[in-house]
Chain A
């Protein structure tokens, strides 16, 4: 069976995470630019004398489909590569995938990873 690894990380750490996943032999991933907040919360900014609270900060979301046996390794690799030790480093989570199909060939589940 297969799992979905989802990670929300600091944007500038994307390159490091990509490199770490390539080392593991991960075949593909999906990246989106997202906004949100966690414990980091937002911050205030002043522009032309007006003060703003920015409560959604830009992050990058990575989604990787992996086989069950690779899942923990991939999660650990992302955590390791994305960590700066400062607040706002993000989160990584793992969810089961009920069905997975490769569109071109029709292969299913672990074969489609």
Chain B
């Protein structure tokens, strides 16, 4: 088995050898390292990307760009990593297709944490949400090599995932840690004065 250091360094250098800038290559190395550390097939995914030819892939440079076919996941990921601080970009986007979508996950994950964002990816084949909380379960077997007709929603809104009755039940339970207040305690236990007018 190779160490994570070896994986990161090898991906960084091979990205550079394929013509990416040093800075982008560093990002690619970190992304694949994170995937492999999380036991995803990041290296295999990256290798398939190289086979496609990085220069043949379409870079996402503008959310409103007309051609969103054959997108490069590294540049797609870096786009949202770099741009997501801009609130004007917090909306839903539609894209035609992207290669090796697994590789966008580390970038969205980092951006989610940095900017407290939620990324909801939706398509017929794949749906997932990446949140700033950092706990998400993604089955890599569901990751296609190429994802078609998908949307990405960027949002700061955290959705409530529980019912009101569950909340009410737990809140009532939490009150059991409080002490019932007698009239005497009202006088002696409070730190402030007895009226707010003194």
A and B from one complex = no
- B contact set with A: CB distance below 8 Å: none
Residues of A within 8 A of B (CB): none
